[in-house]
Structure 1
């Protein structure tokens, strides 16, 4: 997952709203959103290679999403970051309590968002202690929370403007489909070759082998129900399928 924008307690009817793009190699096997066979209360995609997930939500507002930290040349962690989200979603630990149990040194660089309907917590093994977030709109890409990368700033601003339009989703999927490449002078310097910095500077990434695999929009209702909608893509951004699941309505 390479872009997540979250509205936390800023919409009068939907206390949690999340728009996210998952960027990954197309060859990595995964499933679209669905109820998990071993934990049917959870709705999300599943990584079939390592067994975790990049994003999931459960009725009542239990939510988790993860991004990696782009740091080429660093030693790889011994455990998959996708298990951080998976393990939280199938437990009932409060977000801060769960964050305190993580063996941070076992993982490559990550950012993790955890919610339970009452609290939204951000934690990272590259950014100090876990912390609860105040109401507001937040963004994550492949650095730290609210790092001022051009695509993140643009997506967060557009997300804030789109929030009053929910439950209409068109504006959010337009945000997630933005293919604009950032000018070289405004690119972050994350240690990857310039061609990759350019490719990854877009909100919606596409190429032959790597790109945005899924665009996901999910929100929590005041009554505890959830809605999640997803669009999946293949090489060069080819649309594959769309899915929608709602509970508690």
Structure 2
């Protein structure tokens, strides 16, 4: 997952997420849907390490994760896959707050990550690269998370936020194509606007658009997740091939019918 927009606090749809997952095209993944053996969880699956990047569970639980971009910084020895942070929350029963606090006690065991988890009691964020080093609750509002700290004003983050701020909450369910179109923004930033994350300029510019097209590494899917005030959850995922062409849409609703 490389960029996610969150809108929290709408009276009818208190949680809305629109996100792009960027990954190597060769890394095996399963498309979003109810998990085998765990029908109360709906998400895509990383078939390489067994985790996931974004998903929901019955009762209004959801989680998402982005990696923290820090080229040249080695992962801790024997670091587990960061995708298990999302997987374990979705499969578990701990509250969002308790889960984040528990992970926070050993957060440096993982490579750099940003983790957001939510339930009907609230939405919480933990980053093991946040200098403050604290778990905090997100207030109602709109946020963008990419591969740095929450609301870091990278050009791609500003572009996506402006596009999605302009859409009504109902579009996530009634007109999802409008949201998918906003996520499919391939506009790259000018060189003088690029962040300096340690990549060479060509790679920095390639990764500066909300939607990345590249034969080796790019946007594999876009995902919309909405949670209604009564806890019912809707998830839709649009998959893409290495040329950036839409190749299928998947997902579903929990607890089993369209909200």
- TM-score normalised to structure 1 length: 0.96
Residues of 1 paired with 2:197 and 2:243: CA distance?
23
**1:122 corresponds to 2:120:** no
How is 1:103-122 mapped onto 2 (pairs within 5 angstroms)?
Answer: 103-122=106-125
> Are residues 1:197 and 2:198 paired?
no
Q: Deviations over 1:41-60 (max 9, x none)?
A: 01000000000000010122
Structure 1 residue aligned with 2:36: 37
Match of 1:235 in 2: 242
Unaligned runs of 5+ in 1: none
Q: Which residue of 2 aligns with 1:162?
A: 167
Q: Deviation digits for residues 60-101 of structure 1, max 9, x if unmatched?
A: 210000000000111113111000000111111111211121
Question: How far does residue 135 in structure 1 lie from its aligned partner after superposition?
Answer: 0.2
What secondary structure, in the 3-state scheme, does the structure 2 residue paired with 1:175 have? helix
Q: What corresponds to 1:87 in structure 2?
A: 88
1:110 CA displacement: 0.3
Give SS of 1:122's match. strand
Distance 1:142 1:236 in 2: 23
The answer on 1:188 being equivalent to 2:189 is: no
Alignment RMSD: 1.2
Gaps of 5+ in 2: none
Q: Offset at 1:154? A: 1.6
How many residue pairs match? The answer is 248
Instruction: State the partner residue of 1:100.
Output: 101
Q: Which moved more, 1:168-177 or 1:200-209?
A: 168-177
1:224 aligns with 2:225: no
Distance 1:19 1:164 in 2: 11
Shift of 1:38: 2.8
Partner residue, 1:4: 4
Match of residue 207, structure 1, among 206, 214, 217: 214
In 2: Cα distance, 1:41 partner to 1:164 partner: 25
Structure 2-normalised TM-score? 0.93
Kindly indicate whether residue 21 of structure 2 is the aligned counterpart of residue 22 of structure 1. yes
Q: Give per-residue Cα distances to partners, 1:90-136, cap 9 Å, x unaligned.
A: 11111121112112111110000000122000101001201001000
Provide closer, same or farther for how the CA distance between residues 86 and 164 of structure 1 changes in structure 2, counting only shifts above 3 A.
closer
- 1:175 matched to 2:178? The reply is no
2:145 corresponding residue in structure 1: 140
